[in-house]
Structure 1
Amino acid sequence: MSANLFDGLPPAPQPEELFETLCARPGVRIERIVSTGQCSPPGFWYDQPGDEWVALLSGSATLRFEDEATGRELRPGDWMFIAAHRRHRVERTDATTPSVWLAVHLDPPD
């Protein structure tokens, strides 16, 4: 199976993010996320049970960790590893250019 990560991008802005699972196996899920101006709701923090590796392929975004005073500005090519239960939020995504993310979710060990 193959495809292009930039095929079928919705025009910005859209009311909701697009989540598409590209591959899933026991213990791992790879997904494409397309953001078009969305951000986390006020006061909301992701607190995921497994690790996540994420790369921003296009657009721009600001990702903030609860234990840091300011957000991290992301541009195409930037990636980060988010450890399980490290609370984080998306403070901003580009409202004019789709922000395409590649995310690898790793299930917690048994």
Structure 2
Amino acid sequence: MERIYTVVNQKGGVGKTTTTINLGAYLAYFGQRVLLIDLDPQANATSCLGIDKHTVRGGTYEALLGNANVQSYILHNPRLKLSLLPSSPALAGAEVELVNELARESRLKKA
């Protein structure tokens, strides 16, 4: 059975990224399929998993704008046995681009 866990807080610096990465690694260690989705334009989860956020060629920005096949942007980490839909600084512009879109809060689910 699939489950979706979401770690959110308005305030920065409270441990969202650390909690998410550690929870994902823990679940993957015990054989669960894990997809981390980095929805932060600072892309700290992406960076923490060893990916240079400035070289990301597609990820959450493209998924939210519907410009891509999301599957092609998922990165797999065989060492940690988890996958990541990376972020990049480009994600900062998505909020402005989607401000007038209907049902924008469900775009990622449909991607």
TM-score, reference length from structure 1: 0.31
Higher normalized strand content (fraction of residues)? 1
Higher normalized helix content (fraction of residues)? 2
